[in-house]
Amino acid sequence: MKLIIEHPEWQTPQHRFMLGSITLVFWMAWFYLWVPILSIVGWVLGIKLFHYQMITLEGFDGFLGMLAWYAAGIVLLGGSLILWATYNIQRFKNVNRRGPRKVIADEIQADYFKVELSDVQAWREARMLAVSFDESAQITHVGIERSEDNA
C-alpha cells in the first residue's frame, strides 16, 4: 500500500509550490542565522576576504554591534515564550477542556462513507487498516489486519 506522504507527485502543483516556497523561506532564514558564525570562522582561519572585511574595513565593530542586537532578540523571544507558557500554565492548570469523544453510530458512518454496515463493524474490530481513496475522496479499498485475539 503506497502512502501519499511517500509520493509528492500526487500533490497538486499549487500545493507543491506552496510547500516548496515555505521550505525555501525557512532554509534561507536558517542560513542567515549562520552568517555571524561563518564570518568568525573565516576570520579565525585567516581567509583574506574576511580579513579585509573585518580588519581593514573595521567590520568587526559592526559585528559586535549586531551581536548585541542578536542577543537582545534572543532574550526578547525567549522571554516572551516563557511568559506565554507561564500564562497558559496559570490559566489552564486545573481546567480539563478535553471532553469525551462523541460516539457515532456505525450506521451513520456507513452512510457517510457509502459502505456496508458490516464493513464498518469489521473495520472497528481491526488492528490496522490500509485505506485507499479515489479522486473524489471515496473509499475504494480497505486492507484489514485483524487483531491476534480475533484471528
Q: Which tens digits make up the pLDDT trace of 116-131? A: 999 888 888 888 888 8
Based on the structure, what is the number of domains in the chain?
2
Percentage of the chain surpassing pLDDT 70? 88
Q: How far is CA 113 from CA 4, 18, 105, 123, 139, in A?
A: 20, 30, 13, 12, 7
For 149, what's the count of Cα atoms within 13 Å in the CB-facing half-sphere? 3
Show the cell assigned to 138. 471515496
Per-residue confidence (pLDDT) for residue 147, from 0 to 100: 55
pLDDT exceeds cutoff 80 at 54: no
Q: What is the mean pLDDT of the chain?
A: 83
pTM reported for the whole predicted model? 0.35
Residue with the larger pLDDT of the pair 51 and 56:
56
| Cβ neighbours for 42, distance < 8 A, ≥ 6 positions apart | 49, 50
Under 8 Å CB-to-CB from 126, ≥6 apart: which residues?
144, 145, 146, 147
Are 87 and 127 found together in one domain? no
Report how far apart, in Å, the C-alpha atoms of 39 and of each of 53, 131, 142 are.
10, 52, 56
Q: Is 95 helix (H, G, I), strand (E, B) or coil?
A: coil
The residue range of the domain holding 66 is 13-92
Q: Is residue 3 part of a domain?
A: no
142 is a domain residue: yes
Q: pLDDT band at 148, cuts 50/70/90? A: low
Together in a domain, 50 and 113: no
pLDDT attached to residue 4: 61
Domain membership of residue 79 (yes or no) is yes
